[in-house]
Amino acid sequence: MPMNTLELEFCDANPATKDETQFTVLFDLAKVQPGGRVLEIFSLKPEKEDCFGNYESLEVEFKLTEILGPPEQLISNGVLVARQLSILDVKVNREDNEKLLNAKKNVVLTVQESYEGTQKTAKDLDSFRFHCIKSWEPVLKAKLQSVSAEENDSDYTLVVPLRLVPAEQKVQLCLSYDYSLYLRSQNLDVRLGFDLCADEQDFLHKRKKVVADALKKLFHLGEDLLEHEVPVVAVMATGGGIRAMTALYGHLLALQKLNLLDCISYITTASGSTWTLTDLYKNADWSQTSLEEPIKQIKSQIMKTKEAIVSIEKLKYYHKELVERVEMGHLPSFTALWALVQEAVLHDKPNDCKLSEQRPALNRGQNPFPIYTAINVKDRHISTFNFREWVDFNPYEVGFPKYGAYIRTENFDSEFFMGKVVKKIPESRVCYLEGIWTNIFSRNLLDGLYWSSTPAEFWERWVKDMTDKRMAIDGKSAGAGNRHLASLQPFGHSLEKLLASISRAEVYSSDGYTTVYKPPSSAAGKLCEIFNDILTDRPLKGATHNFLRSLDLDNDYLQHNEFRQWKDTVLDMSPSKLTPVEKTLCLIDIGYFINNSGPPLLKPERSVDVIIALDYDMGVPFKQAEMLAKYCEVQGIPFPKIEPSEEDRRNPKECYVFSDEDNPKAPIVLCFPLICHTFKEYKAPGIKRTPSEMKGGEMNMDKMSSPYATIHITYSEDDFDKLLNLSSYNILCSKDFIFQAIQYAMEKKRNIWPRRLNTSSS
């Protein structure tokens, strides 16, 4: 789709019902030169012609005129643009306001161009704030009205163009009642940039000293490593409910036993594995102390019966919490209720910790940097596969790597306008964020159908579609991109036929600049609309205030390298349909696209050298790593191919090493499947089980009958211990492979090129 596109919708005028869109015309404004005119004839129904052989058409003349406005200061990172924002503070004289209220009147203040729009005086409310975009030349209007009426009771109206109000100077106005105005400029609360924030950069500087000391001891180095010689090692965990949380504890315990925790700079998590980190980071020195105690505590919690989480007392508590939350300004959603239930499963008492309060665990570089992941989707009319955007959470910032837009973590959930906080809302307890990261209830029916039938087929379909789309954008495949403009992609052969019979939303293009959508007939169109709603609506959706609201897209946003790296949805070429136009975000579990927390580690600025990929999927081994590798291949992100043999799929070993020797920017990836075939016979590296110990190696991973199924929230002591021991065993058995990968990365950093990395599985 062209960059500057004018969209014209033609509706049937129906006074009795809602007007229905009949045609949508997209026109590329690049066809019109400043000062020039262009006459365009749009053919609306080419399949119908009158008795003279003429088609129904629409003639539109376009003229582009330059309008001189006030000088404007813009802030842009090449993708998003923020306009200069002004704050207008208005105060009505208190005594005058009391007189008016006693007379059953109040003052109505309106700045139509502002975020707030209209505000009214009331008892104890005589001061107001309006957030305005300066270049829109906002105007303040004031009038009197009866408290019980909506009509103006006065003939006089105060109209003040704000361009006449001097900045940073109080202005007094008197017109039957007194006003004071104060106008000032406003700085951004959204960080527009693709670099790591200053806090994370400072953390990395401190962490590399810790890692350098650990590597010197581990590999008996004769001299200290310089900062640029220190490899960045990361742990990447998938989701999987209690199973993922328990197994991650086991993996971290084994890494601690091998003195490797101090070598790790990042830990990324998704869904259930996020619970491990939110628990550990309550202790500012968790990686420096034994993990045995927190494991003992979580084991006790998981073994408890969970009937109490739906008791009358708990339900009353949930209701009270949710009411108080809404009163503070948070948006009501089912996700918040899910978060409280989930908290009751994991903790006996409410966890008062907040994500920003994890910062003391990073201020000396003493622990790895934690990153939590989610995806932002449309709340209806479009599937997760057709639109979703990665969102990262860490103790310092929350943001979209695609847009290069980040806010301070304590401001998440506050109301924003043009990059500025317009209503500060208290930071949520971390349990509410866990509700977002594990938000399994905001999926739509289409998501469920994707993953309940043949997900491999759907994934391959997405890969093919995205490849075609990128070729179209690069000019290698004319017209391929148009297929992605439909709001609903078919997702199976039988459904594809059904949709084809319901709606044939064809696309016509005369010269590459204009596109006309031909809607189906009214009856079929209504059926298709109903069907689309059923498939794509998210009945239990979550909602969060959108901190990108009202920001603009830069003219050349599609050409920006960072945006192109994450440009993977059907709406990316339609700026008027991207996230900045939305009032709210709909954040869900990343598992409805890729159940893998790897994307934050692929941000070029983090320069990750080694990824320890921990897979908690009970299904096909390597599936999540393969999907991430395929995603990276489509997106052009450096990442090694994940290509295990058929034998490895049937009988996975403890660890597999994948690398791309031809691409120095690609990280080394060590994959750890959830289960390995040697655990059944070995209880520790090189130590076989005795006949009486064989039961400890039997792991039931059948999805239908396994005690580790994601829906299970209570484990027996035996089941917990088995899973913990299995995950620890996999790491301990793979010590040499982990050491070799880190050493290889370290030597590359030092420009000491070693012999080829050994990628034989353990």
Return the domain boundaries, the chain. Answer: 74-187, 192-441+582-749, 445-508+521-581
CB 128 within 8 A of CB 109: yes
CB 408 within 8 A of CB 424: no
pLDDT at residue number 26? 75
CA-closest candidate to residue 722, choices 698, 690, 703: 698
Residues 6 or more apart whose CB falls under 8 angstroms from that of 602 comprise: 608, 632, 637, 638, 639
CA distance 651 to 688: 18
What kind and span of H or E run contains 735?
helix 735-749
DSSP E strands in 461-505: the ranges are none
Q: What are the tokens at 488?
A: 């609903």
In the chain, the amino acid numbered 216 is: K
> 571-578 long-range contacts, Cβ below 8 Å, gap at least 24?
571/382, 571/386, 571/387, 573/1, 573/473, 573/481, 574/1, 574/5, 574/485, 575/3, 576/5, 576/7, 578/553
CA distance 175 to 107: 12
Q: Are strands 610-614 and 668-672 parallel, antiparallel or unpaired?
A: parallel
CA-closest candidate to residue 195, choices 581, 471, 603: 603
Helix axes 623-635, 455-473, angle to 10 degrees: 10
Residues of the chain with pLDDT under 50: 1-2, 52, 453-455, 473, 475-524
pTM of the model: 0.86
DSSP E strands in 410-505: the ranges are 415-417, 420-423
∠ Cα 607 611 614 (to 5°): 150
CB 275 within 8 A of CB 642: no
> What letter would DSSP give residue 508?
E
Task: Write the DSSP string, 55-76.
Answer: EEEEEEEEE----------EEE
Q: What are the tokens at 291?
A: 């993990």
Q: Are strands 389-393 and 369-377 parallel, antiparallel or unpaired?
A: antiparallel
Q: Are strands 266-269 and 233-237 parallel, antiparallel or unpaired?
A: parallel
CB 563 within 8 A of CB 402: yes
Task: Write the DSSP string, 14-46.
Answer: -SSS--EEEEEEEEEGGGS-TT-EEEEEEEEEE
Half-sphere exposure of 169 (CA within 13 A, CB side): 8
Strand partners, 90: 128, 181
How many other CB atoms are there within 10 angstroms of residue 266's CB atom?
Answer: 22
> 285-291 long-range contacts, Cβ below 8 Å, gap at least 24?
285/361, 285/366, 285/367, 286/361, 286/367, 287/256, 287/261, 287/262, 287/366, 287/367, 287/368, 288/366, 288/367, 290/256, 291/249, 291/252, 291/253, 291/256
CATH of domain 192-441+582-749: 3.40.1090.10
pLDDT at residue number 232? 98
CA distance 30 to 376: 31
CA distance 158 to 173: 10
pLDDT 10s digits, 243-294: 999 999 999 999 999 999 999 999 999 999 999 999 999 999 999 999 999 9
What kind and span of H or E run contains 217?
helix 198-218
Catalytically active residues are 271, 589
Q: Which CATH class is domain 74-187?
A: mainly beta
CB 356 within 8 A of CB 187: no
Q: What are the tokens at 47?
A: 């399949």
Residues 6 or more apart whose CB falls under 8 angstroms from that of 667 comprise: 601, 608, 609, 610, 611, 638, 639, 640
pLDDT at residue number 530? 53
pLDDT at residue number 44? 66
Place of tokens 């008062």: 352
CA distance 361 to 340: 25
312 φ, ψ to 5°?
A: -60, -40
Residues in the chain: 762
CB 677 within 8 A of CB 653: yes
CA distance 607 to 195: 12
Place of tokens 């609306």: 44
How many other CB atoms are there within 10 angstroms of residue 672's CB atom?
Answer: 28
